[in-house]
Amino acid sequence: MRQVKVRLTAVAAALTMTVAVAGCGGAKSDAGSSDAPAAGSKGTVKLAINPWVGYEANAAVLGHLLEKKLGYKVDKKNLKEEISWQGFETGEVDAIVENWGHDDLKKTYITDKKVAVDLGPTGNKGVIGWYVPQWMADQYPDITDGKNLNKYADLFKTSESGGKGQLLDGDPSFVTNDAALVTNLKLNYKVVYSGSEAALIKAAQQATAQKKPLLFYFYEPQWLFAKEKYARVKLPAYTAGCDADPKKVACDYPDYVLDKIVSKKFADTNSPAFQLIKNFQWTNDDQNLVSDYITNQGMTAEAAGEKWVNEHEATWKPWIPATS
Amino acid sequence: MSATVTDARVPVAAPGEDAPAPGPRRPLPGRRLLVPLLLLVTAGVYLAVRTSAPADGDGAAARFFGELRDWVDANRDTSPLFLYGFNYLRLGVSLLVDAIHGALYGLGWAGLVTAAGALAAVVAGWRTALLAVAGFLSFGVLGLWEESVDTLVLTLSAVLLAVLIGVPLGVLAARVPAVGAALRPVLDVMQIMPTFAYLAPMTLLFLIGSPAATIATLIYAIPPAIRITALGIGEVPAATVEAATALGSTRWQLLGKVRLPLARPTIVLAVNQAIMMALSMVVVTALIDAPGLGQTIVQALERVNVGAAFDAGLAIVVMAVVLDRITTRAAHRAAPTVHRSVRVRAVGPLVALAVVVAVTVLGRMSSWGAEFPAAWRASFAVPVNEATRWVEFHWYDATEALKNAVSAVLLDPIETVLTTTPWWLFLVAVLIFGALASGPRAAVVAGLAVAGVQALGLWQHAMQTLATVLVATVATMVFGVLFGVLGARHDRFARVLRPVLDAAQTMPSFVYLLPAVALFGASRFTAIVAAVIYAVPPVVRLVERGVRDVPATVVEAAVSAGSTPRQLLWKVQLPMARRGLLLAANQGIVMVLAMVVVGGLVGAGALGYDVVAGFAQREDFGRGLAAGFAIVLLGVLLDRLTQGAGRRADHDRLRQPAT
């Protein structure tokens, strides 16, 4: 009990102090977040980890370089995309290392609130689309045109699709217009969320191995495409601005230039960590290699990052800031 | 360890509300005919007016919440409400978390293990101390030391706050009837509200991170703290109070010297329950960036890695067992009748403190104290994953067939009927049948909940969720009654069952999703399976208790009258255990609802998906928040309709907390 009392007193003291420091201006939403050590001296870098393995690959390599080459501590936080952006405001997150578009969030957090900064492309090209296993494209050649999907809706019926065809999506937090697309393209389909990338991949592999029909949301960079073939279903072509209103989207997904976003505070330090993330650029093949290590070779993200770093010095050497 | 999470969900009737338990209801004349007749009429009306189940649009409620969010987002750093209100709350809580974090990490792993042992030795005895040391060591052995400590930090912060706020409120509720009456419905709703529904409003007010997680956990953990404290204070014998008053005690003296000391064991039990509730919530808060074991579990879910989740789930169970034992033993010792000599009371803590300090200093100075030794690692992940793969591979056809059959034969028809029923017809049916089953008051409350769901503009989704909940509840009751009866009739079976139930009740609900997903993929059936696993343990307990509570004399009389074991069960034990069964159904259905909603993470759709999406996609925020409220209303509806006679029976249960 004594210890508890001591702790309480300490907390009370700290509280009074902070309140005094914060003064009469009230507490801003980033009050109390510790951002001190990031400046110059080696501190902690807080990386958001979004839930797909490609993202993890970026973070694994960057994390390894930050820790082993630059001497930082890396704090990885498993967060969904939009929630990571909220972290810029509170100081919970320093960097998002693979961002997919999110123009609305860029407007809010970069333009309006000025708590985040765009650090440019990761070098990865992002593709989102609807896919079927290759055997289906072979057996039903016209299935790869979205206009013919209704003809095949019966093939894709499952216990979950309520008499319609099933369109299998991933994590509900992923970038997707699928629900709106199904409505606006008048497709006789229902979107079912598998809940994760892993579940999507499992379903895709099953569909290929057991020749089961499957229509699913998928994306590149993706290691699976190197192992098995899937055919993309064509939707009405993307034109600039056709996805402006998320409820009225009736066109395919754009090609994404994946980029890095960091918090304003982190950027202002201009630390080696910031420089490294700014310089980081690699190819889809690079990412897929690391993703494959993590997914199929039983490596932890840390081990995969280390292996890649050991084998690709020429790629990462230029990222390391000159000053360190 | 049966005083676990769900026991705390049992609503406690406030002291002084000892309404006479209603005896078996006397059937009204004509009632036998009335019910089938009403059923027929309802079915007829349904056939005449059913709708085509129009999809839910973005209702006014969803738009309102969306705008609310935009306003909060724009004014978080300018509005006085946030500048001087919520932001300070957030700051204060984050300081508390940081302080506890600093203290626990400051001890180092060796120091913390010793501290846990020492604390247990002082308040609960040396056996518990051994358990505590072994338990804390196991976190490191599982390779989850930091995650476990982070979880412990959040749990302790939330429980500390829950006790600081809850105990005074509990005392107030017991002493001032108006406060008690005002608190009761609030606590009712708080306990029905599924953990999931808390998160979106929390991030709106407190953003993401540990403070929001602590506050969400606090809200979840505080109702039992308030209720059990109120119970303890209310149970202080009137004679003792009178004696003290006669001796001239002031009101404050009465409280400080008589009521609180006498209620101490019960108050420690309140702490115990708050800890158990907090542990089950703290994992869910990983979704809003709380550190700890929850992160491991969420990540395992994203990778469909059953083994990794198993390790983390095990760590939570161990933590729950250790904290539970320490606090339950402490509750026994806190009884004012147990007198120990002054010397023992003073020396024990001093020795314990000295040992902790010594180990901490040693650990911090030596190299092995810096990190938990990697050589001691052990993990169940690999065998568990292998077993899962084997089952997936060999049972695929069977699991697929089962899923499809249940979906086609049960789930889809029920869902169709519910979604095509116009809301007003549903409302009328709830009012009529609710009044017959649970009385007019409960029916009115349930009816208001139905109207509320409709007003939120989420009728279709609510009905889809309800269909899943109904199917899962039926399955839960079937398994629960089966195992409960077996447990009541065979002591050996009960002995084997008990530790399994204990563990199952402390596993965080997320963990159950994993085996279900591995077996059944993304579907409503997955949510049903997870919900059944989650809700069966308390149902088994209540059924077993109900059957065992049938007076021995009655059983003997029936046996001597020539009843076969089967007759004994169906004609005597089960009918007499009716109240236990009703209570079990009431508990079961509320738990099933909580889990079905979590199933939104794995393709169960409907309200659960709305909440998940609202949480993760900006444009869905308003709808997600509305769905959270709809879930609460659905909970109120189900709770009121099933409370029936069951509600009263629980009063005796908490009087004699099981240990």
Interval B58-72: pLDDT, tens: 677 778 888 888 888
Residue B363, classified by CB atoms within 10 Å of its CB into exposed (0-12), middle (13-18) or buried (19+), is: buried
**Cβ separation B88–A19 shorter than 8 A:** yes
Q: How many CB pairs under 8 A join A and B?
A: 163
In a domain, A6, yes or no: no
Cα of first residue to Cα of last residue in chain A, in angstroms, is 48
Contact present, B266 and B226 (Cβ < 8 Å) = no
In a domain, A252, yes or no: yes
The position carrying tokens 């509720």 is B173
Do A204 and A249 belong to one domain?
Answer: yes
pLDDT over threshold 80, residue B192: no
Q: Return the CA Rg of chain B.
A: 26
Tell me which chain A residue has its CA closest to the CA of residue B513.
A195
Q: What is the mean pLDDT of residues B213-221?
A: 91
Do A248 and A272 belong to one domain?
Answer: no
Q: Averaging pLDDT over each range in A120-134, B85-99, B491-505, B638-652, which range is the top one?
A: A120-134
Cα of first residue to Cα of last residue in chain B, in angstroms, is 6
Q: Name the 3-class secondary structure at A233.
A: strand
Q: Nearest 10 degrees: CA dihedral of A220, A223, A228, A234? A: 0
The position carrying tokens 């593709």 is A127
**B461: closest CA of chain A, how far (Å):** 14
In a domain, A9, yes or no: no
Phi then psi dihedrals of residue B67, to 5 deg = -65, -35
Which among B299, B302, B617 has the least Cβ separation from residue A82? Answer: B617
- Per-residue pLDDT band for B9 (boundaries 50, 70, 90) equals very low
Q: What are B546-586's pLDDT values in tens digits?
A: 888 888 888 888 888 888 888 888 888 888 888 778 888 88
Question: Nearest Cα to B87, choosing from B2, B211, B178?
Answer: B211
pLDDT of residue B369: 67
Q: Sort out which chain A residues have CB atoms less than 8 A from B82's CB and list them.
A: 26, 29
**A255: closest CA of chain B, how far (Å):** 20
Which among A1, A159, A193 has the least Cβ separation from residue B609? Answer: A193
Q: Sort out which chain B residues have CB atoms less than 8 A from A92's CB and list them.
A: 207-209, 289
**Cβ separation B99–A10 shorter than 8 A:** yes
Contact present, B618 and B625 (Cβ < 8 Å) = no
Distance, in Å, from the CA atom of B632 to the CA atom of B66, rounded to the nearest integer, reads 19
pLDDT over threshold 80, residue B22: no
Share of chain B above pLDDT 70, in %: 90
Tell me which chain A residue has its CA closest to the CA of residue B296.
A78
In a domain, A16, yes or no: no
**Cβ separation B95–A32 shorter than 8 A:** yes
**Cβ separation A77–B289 shorter than 8 A:** yes
Which A-chain residues 94-133 have CB contacts (< 8 A) with chain B?
Answer: 104-105, 108
Determine how many CB atoms are found less than 10 A away from the CB of residue A153.
19
pLDDT of residue B205: 84
**Cβ separation B612–A172 shorter than 8 A:** yes
Pair type for strands A73-78 and A44-49 = parallel
Contact present, B599 and B607 (Cβ < 8 Å) = no
Tokens of B192: 């029905």
Distance, in Å, from the CA atom of B169 to the CA atom of B184, rounded to the nearest integer, reads 12
- Kindly report the CATH number assigned to the domain that includes residue A248: 3.40.190.100
Beta bridge partners of B33: none
Please state at what angle helix A284-296 crosses helix A301-311, rounded to 10 degrees: 140
Q: Return the CA Rg of chain A.
A: 23
- Kindly report the CATH number assigned to the domain that includes residue A118: 3.40.190.10
**Cβ separation A195–B92 shorter than 8 A:** no
Do A120 and A262 belong to one domain?
Answer: yes
**Cβ separation B616–A172 shorter than 8 A:** yes
Question: What distances in angstroms separate CA B306 from CA A300, B143, B190, B312, one per listed residue?
Answer: 16, 16, 31, 10
Contact present, B388 and B518 (Cβ < 8 Å) = yes
Domain finish residue from A237, A256, A275: A256
Do A211 and A114 belong to one domain?
Answer: no
The position carrying tokens 């929630």 is A83
Which among A1, A26, A171 has the least Cβ separation from residue B83? Answer: A26
Q: What is the mean pLDDT of residues B186-191?
A: 82
Domains of chain B listed by start with CATH number:
5-16+57-62+396-655 (1.10.3720.10), 76-106+142-338 (1.10.3720.10)
Domain finish residue from A256, A283, A306: A256
H or E element: which one contains A324?
none
Which among A90, A105, A198 has the least Cβ separation from residue B209? Answer: A90
Phi then psi dihedrals of residue A249, to 5 deg = -60, 130
Contact present, B593 and B194 (Cβ < 8 Å) = yes
| Count of residues in chain B | 659
**Cβ separation A160–B603 shorter than 8 A:** yes
Domain finish residue from A256, A280, A304: A256
Tokens of B371: 């990190």
Share of chain A above pLDDT 90, in %: 58
Helices and strands (DSSP H and E) totals, chain A: 12, 9
Q: Sort out which chain A residues have CB atoms less than 8 A from B93's CB and list them.
A: none
Which among B76, B303, B305 has the least Cβ separation from residue A29? Answer: B76
pLDDT of residue B64: 83
Residue A232 amino acid letter: R
Do A58 and A106 belong to one domain?
Answer: yes
pLDDT of residue B303: 81
Q: Does A310 contact B at CB distance below 8 Å? A: no
**B238: closest CA of chain A, how far (Å):** 31
How does DSSP assign A12-55, residue by residue? Answer: HHHHHHHHHHHGGG---TTTT---GGGSSS--EEEEEE-SSHHH
Tell me which chain A residue has its CA closest to the CA of residue B301.
A196
Beta bridge partners of A226: none
**A77: closest CA of chain B, how far (Å):** 7
Give the mean pLDDT of chain B: 81
- Per-residue pLDDT band for B509 (boundaries 50, 70, 90) equals confident
In a domain, A92, yes or no: yes
Give the mean pLDDT of chain A: 86
**A269: closest CA of chain B, how far (Å):** 23
The position carrying tokens 């120091």 is B111
**Cβ separation B77–A28 shorter than 8 A:** yes
Which A-chain residues 246-265 have CB contacts (< 8 A) with chain B?
Answer: 246
Q: What is the mean pLDDT of residues A171-181?
A: 89
Contact present, A172 and B609 (Cβ < 8 Å) = yes
Distance, in Å, from the CA atom of A111 to the CA atom of A117, rounded to the nearest integer, reads 9
Of residues B15 and A311, more confidence is placed in: A311
**Cβ separation B289–A87 shorter than 8 A:** yes
**B449: closest CA of chain A, how far (Å):** 27
Contact present, B285 and B216 (Cβ < 8 Å) = yes
Choosing among B78, B91, B621, which should be mutated to test the A contact, i.e. which has the most A CBs within 10 A? Answer: B91
Choosing among A21, A188, A193, A263, which should be mutated to test the B contact, i.e. which has the most B CBs within 10 A? Answer: A193
Question: What distances in angstroms separate CA B561 from CA A292, B235, B330, B551, B568, one per listed residue?
Answer: 72, 42, 47, 16, 10
Contact present, B414 and B524 (Cβ < 8 Å) = no
Which among B207, B349, B411 has the least Cβ separation from residue A29? Answer: B207
Q: Nearest 10 degrees: CA dihedral of A246, B605, B214, B531? A: -170
Count CA atoms closer than 13 A to B647's CA, side-chain side: 20
pLDDT of residue A6: 44
Q: What are B358-370's pLDDT values in tens digits?
A: 777 777 777 766 6
Q: What is the mean pLDDT of residues B626-637?
A: 88
Do A59 and A140 belong to one domain?
Answer: no
Which among A7, A81, A160 has the least Cβ separation from residue B523? Answer: A160
Do A150 and A140 belong to one domain?
Answer: yes
Do A92 and A64 belong to one domain?
Answer: yes
Tell me which chain A residue has its CA closest to the CA of residue B523.
A160
Domain count for chain A: 2
H or E element: which one contains B231?
helix B210-234
pLDDT of residue B166: 92
Contact present, B84 and A26 (Cβ < 8 Å) = yes
Contact present, B239 and B180 (Cβ < 8 Å) = no
Q: Does A196 contact B at CB distance below 8 Å? A: yes
Q: What is the mean pLDDT of residues A102-129?
A: 91
pLDDT of residue A36: 45
Do A144 and A175 belong to one domain?
Answer: yes
Q: What is the mean pLDDT of residues B373-385?
A: 78
pTM of the complete model: 0.81
The position carrying tokens 């509005």 is B79
Within 8 A by CB and 6+ apart from B621, the residues are B65, B66, B69, B200, B614, B615
Beta bridge partners of A132: A231
Q: Name the 3-class secondary structure at A173.
A: coil
Which A-chain residues 29-88 have CB contacts (< 8 A) with chain B?
Answer: 29, 31-32, 51, 77-83, 86-87
pLDDT of residue B132: 92
In a domain, A219, yes or no: yes
Structural domain boundaries enclosing A130? 126-256
Residue B350, classified by CB atoms within 10 Å of its CB into exposed (0-12), middle (13-18) or buried (19+), is: exposed
Given its phi and psi angles, is residue B511 left (phi above 0), alpha (psi -120 to 50 degrees) or beta? Answer: alpha
Q: What is the mean pLDDT of residues B127-133?
A: 90
**Cβ separation A159–B525 shorter than 8 A:** yes
Determine how many CB atoms are found less than 10 A away from the CB of residue B216.
26
Do A201 and A56 belong to one domain?
Answer: no
In a domain, A117, yes or no: yes
Please state at what angle helix B578-598 crosses helix B606-616, rounded to 10 degrees: 40
Count CA atoms closer than 13 A to A232's CA, side-chain side: 13
Which among A14, A92, A162 has the least Cβ separation from residue B289? Answer: A92
Contact present, A241 and A195 (Cβ < 8 Å) = no
Distance, in Å, from the CA atom of B533 to the CA atom of B588, rounded to the nearest integer, reads 11
Q: Name the 3-class secondary structure at B11.
A: coil
Phi then psi dihedrals of residue B373, to 5 deg = -55, 125
The position carrying tokens 């690391």 is A290
In a domain, A19, yes or no: no
Q: What is the mean pLDDT of residues B155-164?
A: 93
The position carrying tokens 């980890």 is A49
- Per-residue pLDDT band for B87 (boundaries 50, 70, 90) equals confident
**A296: closest CA of chain B, how far (Å):** 12
Do A157 and A250 belong to one domain?
Answer: yes
Q: What are B330-343's pLDDT values in tens digits?
A: 877 766 555 555 55
**Cβ separation B87–A28 shorter than 8 A:** yes
Pair type for strands A256-263 and A116-133 = antiparallel
pLDDT of residue B20: 43
Choosing among A46, A157, A160, A295, which should be mutated to test the B contact, i.e. which has the most B CBs within 10 A? Answer: A160
SS in 3 state form for B288-319? HCCCCHHHHHHHHHHHCCHHHHHHHHHHHHHH
**Cβ separation A27–B286 shorter than 8 A:** no
pLDDT of residue A45: 93
Residue B52, classified by CB atoms within 10 Å of its CB into exposed (0-12), middle (13-18) or buried (19+), is: exposed
Residue B218, classified by CB atoms within 10 Å of its CB into exposed (0-12), middle (13-18) or buried (19+), is: buried
Do A263 and A183 belong to one domain?
Answer: no
Tell me which chain B residue has its CA closest to the CA of residue A77.
B289
Q: Sort out which chain A residues have CB atoms less than 8 A from B299's CB and list them.
A: 51, 78
**Cβ separation A14–B605 shorter than 8 A:** no
Tell me which chain B residue has its CA closest to the CA of residue A28.
B77
Distance, in Å, from the CA atom of A267 to the CA atom of B238, rounded to the nearest integer, reads 67
Residue A122 amino acid letter: T
pLDDT of residue B427: 92
Question: Nearest Cα to B75, choosing from B83, B85, B65?
Answer: B83
Q: Sort out which chain A residues have CB atoms less than 8 A from B407's CB and list them.
A: 159-160
**Cβ separation A15–B92 shorter than 8 A:** yes
